[in-house]
A and B are shown apart, each in its own frame.
Chain A
Amino acid sequence: MDRHQLETAAVRATYLRGLTSVPLGLLFLLTGLGNLGWAPATKPLVYLACIAVLAVAWAGISRYYDVHYGRIRIQKRRQLRLTLACAVCFGAALIGGSVLDFRLDLSVSVFAVAFGVAMLVWSSICVGLRADHVLVWGALIAVGLVPVWGGPADNTSAAWLPIGVATIIAGLLDHRALSRSFGPVSDEHVVV
Chain B
Amino acid sequence: MSSSSDVPALDRLVHEPNRLAILTVLSSTEEADFVFLQRTLELTNGNLSSHLSKLEEAGLVTVGKSFVGRRPNTSIALTELGRSRIEDHWVRLDRLKGLAAHKMHG
Contact = CB atoms under 8 A, between A and B. Distances in A.
Nearest to B75: A71
Given A13-B39, A67-B35, 15 more contacts: A1-B41, A6-B21, A6-B40, A9-B28, A9-B40, A10-B28, A10-B32, A70-B34, A72-B29, A74-B30, A75-B27, A183-B39, A183-B42, A192-B33, A192-B74
Given A67-B71, A192-B73, A72 B24 contact: no
Given A190-B35, A192-B72, A182 B29 contact: no
A151 B73 CA distance: 54
A13 B28 contact: no
Interface of A: 1, 3, 6-11, 13, 66-76, 78, 182-183, 188-192
B62 interface: no
A10 B73 contact: no
Chain B interface: which size bin?
20 to 34
Contacts of A72: 29, 31-33, 36
Nearest to B49: A192
Contacts of B29: 10, 72-75
* List of 4 A-B pairs having minimum Cβ-Cβ separation, nearest first: A70-B36, A70-B35, A6-B24, A73-B30
A67 B69 CA distance: 11
